[in-house]
């Protein structure tokens, strides 16, 4: 595990406060969601990694061969690497809670880490994720608070796959909220407000494992 396994930025917050990881979409970078993270969690220390895969110059967190056609081997590689990166920062910061927010490809890597390490995050926001396979959760998502946001006319993330992901998460015990809007792949104010509400909830007893 290394805190420096990804190029990343850190915005310091209150010592011992929440630790928020933000994961950009395809073509973004470590700066894309920093201001949103600060807006949503003013007291948090924010960690923003840059994807280590280049798709014709666009940064991503894992490889794909087409829209929704993922390199499953590379997802495993990226998930293991990202989980180690997150754990290293958590061990150093000893935060009151661990939060995650990802958009598009960033939501996909966040979801994959959540499936592999269900107890790592206390609350996660998955903005427009595309998970075209049945998740293999290593443990239980019981007690996890998850917000999924989506557009009913999203050409990249079909609504039926969002609904299927919600069903998977609920079946594994997660406390899931889905925030829909009538648009496409863009992030709208209603999504941001839903994320703010999720992060504003006081952490529960699960956070004792982080301190």
Give me the active site residues, please. 104, 154, 185
**CB under 8 Å to 86, separation ≥6 — which residues?**
21, 98, 113, 117, 120
Distance, C-alpha 22 to centroid of its chain: 7
CA-angle at 132, arms to 128 and 133, nearest 5°: 130
- Sign of the Cα pseudo-torsion (208, 110, 196, 44, in order): positive
CA dihedral of residues 46, 53, 32, 1 (deg, nearest 10): 0
Q: How many CA atoms lie within 13 A of 201 on its CB side?
A: 19
Distance, C-alpha 56 to centroid of its chain: 24
Token pair for residue 103? 């958009």
DSSP secondary structure code for residue 52 in this structure: S
């Amino acid at each position: 595990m290394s805190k420096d396994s990804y190029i990343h930025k850190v915005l310091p917050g209150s010592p011992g406060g929440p630790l928020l990881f933000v994961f950009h979409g395809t073509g973004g970078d470590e700066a894309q969601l920093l201001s949103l993270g600060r807006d949503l969690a003013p007291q948090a220390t924010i960690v923003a990694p840059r994807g280590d895969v280049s798709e014709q110059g666009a940064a991503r967190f894992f490889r794909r061969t087409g829209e929704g056609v993922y390199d499953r081997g590379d997802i495993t590689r990226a998930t293991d690497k990202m989980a180690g990166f997150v754990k290293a920062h958590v061990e150093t910061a000893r935060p009151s809670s661990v939060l995650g927010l990802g958009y598009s490809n960033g939501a996909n890597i966040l979801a994959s880490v959540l499936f592999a390490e269900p107890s790592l995050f206390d609350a996660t926001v998955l903005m427009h994720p595309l998970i075209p396979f049945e998740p293999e959760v290593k443990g239980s998502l019981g007690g996890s608070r998850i917000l999924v946001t989506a557009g009913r006319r999203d050409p990249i993330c079909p609504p039926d796959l969002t609904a299927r992901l919600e069903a998977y998460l609920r079946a594994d015990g997660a406390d899931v909220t889905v925030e829909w809007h009538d648009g496409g792949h863009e992030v709208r104010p209603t999504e941001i407000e839903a994320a703010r509400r999720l992060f504003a909830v006081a952490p529960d007893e699960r956070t004792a494992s982080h301190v």
